[in-house]
Amino acid sequence: METVSRGSLIDWSEATENLPGQQESGDRSLVAPYAGGVLVGVVDGLGHGADAARCAEIAVSCFKEHPEEPLPEMIRRCHGRLRSMRGIAVTLASFDFAASTMTWLAIGNVAGVLLPAPSDAQQHSSRLVLRGGVVGDKLPSLGPTTLGVSEGDTLMLATDGIAAGFADTIRLVSSPEVMAKQIIENHATGRDDALIMVVRYLGAERHGSMR
C-alpha cells in the first residue's frame, strides 16, 4: 500500500504485467498531488513495446505539469504534444478533498470503476463511460463526470490487458496492494500489456497538508 504523502487522503497501489515477449510495458500510472486535491490516472500507449512506453511516459509527464487544471484542458494539452506520435488511451480522476468529490474522464478503453465502502450498503458502484478516440489523433467531446466520494470508497482503473469483470468479485476489505495483485493474477489476459491501479479514498476528516 502506498500513500501520496503524509497527510494525504488516498492510499494506492498498482500491479502490472508486460505482454509476453516484451521488455517494456506501454501502460503507466500517475499520482500528482496539488493544493486541495490529487490527480490520479492510467495511460495506455497504443500498441506495445518501446514506442508505446515512450508515448505513455510523455503523456504522464504532461499531466503532472499542471495537475490542478480541469481535466479537459489537460487532455487537450497532451493531445497537442502527442500529435506526431502513436497516441494514448487514458483515464484521469481528480479528487477534491474539500468537496469530497472525484471528477473523472476517459478517452479510449482504460476502464474505471468506483466501488462504495463496504459499510455503505445503500450506495452502488459507478462505472465510467468510455469515449472512443485517441489522445494524439482524434478527440471526442470532453465532458467529465463528478461524483461524491466517502471514506473507504475504492477507485479501480484498468487497461485493456485486464479482462472485463475484474471488479465483480473483489473483496474491498483487502488493502489496495492485495487487491491489485489479485486482479493482475486472476484477470490479466496475456494478450496485451496489463495495468491495474487501486485507489482508496480515506475521507475528508483526515485531510492534512500535502507534502
Judge whether residue 172 has pLDDT over 60.
yes
**Average pLDDT of every residue of the chain:** 90
Q: What is the mean pLDDT of residues 111-132?
A: 85
Predicted pLDDT of residue 7: 45
> Is residue 201 one of the residues assigned to a domain?
yes
> Is residue 26 one of the residues assigned to a domain?
yes
Segments forming the whole domain that contains residue 61:
2-206
> Is residue 211 one of the residues assigned to a domain?
no
Distance between CA atoms of 211 and 35, rounded to whole angstroms? 10
Distance between CA atoms of 51 and 33, rounded to whole angstroms? 28
Judge whether residue 3 has pLDDT over 50.
no
Predicted pLDDT of residue 139: 94
3-state DSSP of the chain: CEECCCCCCEEEEEEEECCCCCCCCCEEEEEEEECCEEEEEEEEECCCHHHHHHHHHHHHHHHHHCCCCCHHHHHHHHHHHCCCCCCEEEEEEEEECCCCEEEEEEECCCEEEEECCCCCCCCCCEECCCECCEECCECCCCCCEEEECCCCCEEEEECCCECCCCCCCCCCCCCHHHHHHHHHHHHECCCCCEEEEEEEECCHHHCCCCC
Q: Residue 207 — very low, low, confident or very high, per pLDDT cuts 50/70/90?
A: very low
206 or 152: whose pLDDT is higher? Answer: 152
Question: Tell me, what CATH number does 52's domain have?
Answer: 3.60.40.10
Domain count, the chain: 1
Q: How far apart are the first and last CA of the chain?
A: 18
What residues contact 33, with CB distance under 8 A and at least 6 apart? Answer: 4, 5, 8, 39, 67, 210
State the cell numbers at 182.
Answer: 489479485
Judge whether residue 210 has pLDDT over 60.
no
State the cell numbers at 69.
Answer: 487544471
Distance between CA atoms of 43 and 20, rounded to whole angstroms? 19
pLDDT digits (tens, 9 = 90+) for 131-159: 899 999 999 999 999 999 999 999 999 99
Q: Residue 203 — very low, low, confident or very high, per pLDDT cuts 50/70/90?
A: confident
Q: What is the mean pLDDT of residues 102-116?
A: 96
